[in-house]
Amino acid sequence: MKKRKKIIGIFAGATAATLLTVCLTAIIRTATYPFAKLAGPDGTPDPIRPSDRAVERLAGGIRIPTVSQAVDARENNPFDAFKAYLPAAYPEVYKHLDSMTVNRYGLLLHWRGRDPSLRPILFCSHYDVVPVMNYDPATPDAPLPGWDYPPFSGAVADGRIYGRGTLDMKGMLFSILEAADALLEKGFRPERDVWIAFGFDEEIGGTEGALHIARYFKQQHIVFDAVYDEGGIIAAPGLAGIRRSVALVGTAEKGFSTLRITVYGQGGHSSMPPARGSLVDAAEIIVRLNERQLPAHLTAPVATFLDRIGGSMGFVQRMAIANRWLLESRLLRSFEKQPATAALVRTTTAVTMSRGSDAPNVLASEAEVTVNFRLLPGNTTGQVREHVEAVCEGYRTRIEELSAREPSHISPDDVHGFEMICNTVAGLYPGTVVTPYLTLGGTDAYKYESVSPNVFRFMPVLLTDRERETIHNENESISLENYGRMIAYFRNLIENYR
C-alpha cells in the first residue's frame, strides 16, 4: 500500500512538474514571440478633403446607373454613357495616356514610364454596380426606404457623397483617375509603365470584362510587378479585439463550389405517405451537411494576420497566438464562434435552396437541395464533392456541380509591391497595422493571377462597421475624407513606386 502511494505521489509530482514546465514555456514564448513591431501610436489621420472638381466628377459617375444587368440594353445603355463620360471628365488623362477598349466596355489606359525594362504595375477597379431594391429608372428621384437620398443622385451632403457605387467600386475608380490627373498636372512621368484596367461585369462574375482584359495582357506577354484591386479595407479599432486600425490587404481569396443534390424517394398522394419520402431524406442530408463541416485550419494569410496584429491584443489572445503548438484548437474554436471569423478558418457550408413537390397534397418522387461552399486556399472543389458524397452515403442521390472556382493562389507579402502598400498607408494612416488577409468574397483580382504572382486586394478607406454594412445595401456612401485620402493614396503609390 505504501509503495502504491509512493508511486502515485511520484506520478502526481511528475505531472505537476510537466504542467508547470508547459505553463512556463507558454508564458515565456508569449513574452518573446516575434509579433510585428508597431510603429508609433495609432493616431487620427490628417483630414484630406478632395477638390470640388474631384467630388463633382465622382458624383457625375454615380448618376450613371451602370447596374450589371443593364449592359445589354439597346436603348439608353448606361455603359455607353459611362464609357463616354470618363474622357469628357478627364481630358488630360486621355490626352497623355494611351486608351483602348477590350470586349465592348472593358477600359484600359496605358501610362508609359521612363524605363521600359522594368515590370509595369496595374491598378484595377470596376464600374458595374449591384441593383437597388425597388428602384425604378422611370422615377429616378423617387425616395426609397433606407436611402437618405436617391440611390443614383450622387448627392453631396453632410460631408459624404451618396449613391450606389460610391464604395463598390466607382469611388476607387475615380480615385485612381484623380491621382493620375493630379500627377500629370505637375508634369510627372512614372519610372515604370502604369496600366489602369476597369471591368464592367465584376458583380456577375467578370467573365466578359476582367477575364478578357487579363487575356489581352497574356497575349501581349505583359507580366506585372504588382496588381492592385479591391478586397480588404482599413478597419477601425475594435476588430477582433485589436486596439489599432488595421489595413487588411487580401493576398488570397476563397474559391466556391455550388452543388445541387437530387434526392430520390417514393412519390404519391399525401393521404397515404410512405415511412420515408424524398423530402424527409433531403432534410436529413441538410442536417448532416450542417453538422459535418469540413475541418477548420489556419491558412498562411490568416496565420500571418495573427502574427501582425497579435502585438496589439490582450495577453490571453497573444498567448493563444504565440503557442499555436499547444492552443491552436482553442484558437480555432474561438474563430468559429462568429460567422465572420469562422469564414476565415474553414471552408463554409451554406444550404441556400431546397425544393419538393409543387402541390400541398403531393409527395414528390425527388427533392432538390442546393448548397454553396466557399473554399479556403488548400481545399479543392474535388475535395468538396467527395465530402458531399460521403455525407449523402446511404441515400439515393445525384450530385451536380452548378458552378465552381478553385481558391486563388497566395501572393507573397515579402515583395516590393506589398512593401509599397505598407509605406503608402503609413504616410496617411499613422500607426495602422498593415497585414495580409484572406478576402472572403470573389473579385476580379483572381483573373489577373495569370499575369502576375503579386496580386493585392485592398481599397484604402477607413470604414466603421456601419459604413461597411452599406456596401451592396441601402444608403451606400463615402465620406469626403475617405475619398480625399484614397486619391492621395494612389497618387503617392504611383509617384513613389520605383
pLDDT at site 5: 60
pLDDT band, very low/low/confident/very high, at 458 (cuts 50, 70, 90): very high
Please state, in angstroms and rounded to a whole number, the distance separating the CA atoms of residues 437 and 324.
Answer: 18
Nearest alpha carbon to residue 471 among 127, 129, 67: 129
Assigned C-alpha cell, 57: 466628377
pLDDT at site 15: 67
Cis ω on the peptide bond leading into residue 319 (within 30° of 0)?
A: no
pLDDT band, very low/low/confident/very high, at 8 (cuts 50, 70, 90): low
Candidate from 27-41, 61-75, 390-404, 483-497 with smallest mean pLDDT: 27-41
| Cβ contact 494:190 at 8 Å | yes
Q: Are strands 268-269 and 194-199 parallel, antiparallel or unpaired?
A: unpaired
> Residue 302: what residue type?
V
- Locate CATH 3.40.630.10 in the chain: 52-242+436-496
- Locate CATH 3.30.70.360 in the chain: 253-405
> What percentage of the chain has pLDDT greater than the value 90?
79
| Cβ contact 271:360 at 8 Å | no
CATH fold of the domain at 52-242+436-496: Aminopeptidase (3.40.630)
Residues across the chain: 498
pLDDT at site 323: 85
| Cβ contact 421:458 at 8 Å | yes
pLDDT band, very low/low/confident/very high, at 275 (cuts 50, 70, 90): confident
Q: What is the mean pLDDT of residues 113-127?
A: 98
Q: What is the mean pLDDT of residues 216-244?
A: 91
Give the tens place of pLDDT for each residue, 279-328: 999 999 999 999 999 999 999 999 999 998 887 777 777 888 888 878 88
CA 272 to each of CA 256, 277, 421: distance values in angstroms, whole numbers, following the listed order: 41, 11, 67
CA 396 to each of CA 62, 191, 285: distance values in angstroms, whole numbers, following the listed order: 51, 63, 11
Please state, in angstroms and rounded to a whole number, the distance separating the CA atoms of residues 10 and 8.
Answer: 5
CB burial of 463-482 (b: ≥16 within 10 Å; e: otherwise) equals beeebeebeeeebbbbbbbb
pLDDT at site 25: 74
Give the tens place of pLDDT for each residue, 327-363: 888 888 888 988 988 999 999 999 999 999 999 999 9
Q: What is the mean pLDDT of residues 223-242?
A: 89
Among the CATH numbers 3.40.309.10, 1.20.1070.10, 3.30.70.360, 3.20.20.100, which is that of 253-405? 3.30.70.360
Give the tens place of pLDDT for each residue, 240-260: 667 789 999 999 999 999 999
pLDDT at site 236: 86
**pLDDT over 90 at 206, yes or no:** yes
**pLDDT over 60 at 39, yes or no:** no
DSSP readout, 132-160?
-TT--TTSTTS--TT-SS-TTS--EETTE
pLDDT at site 172: 98
CA 56 to chain CA centroid, Å, is 28
Q: What is the mean pLDDT of residues 172-183?
A: 98
- pLDDT averaged over the chain? 93
**pTM value?**
0.92
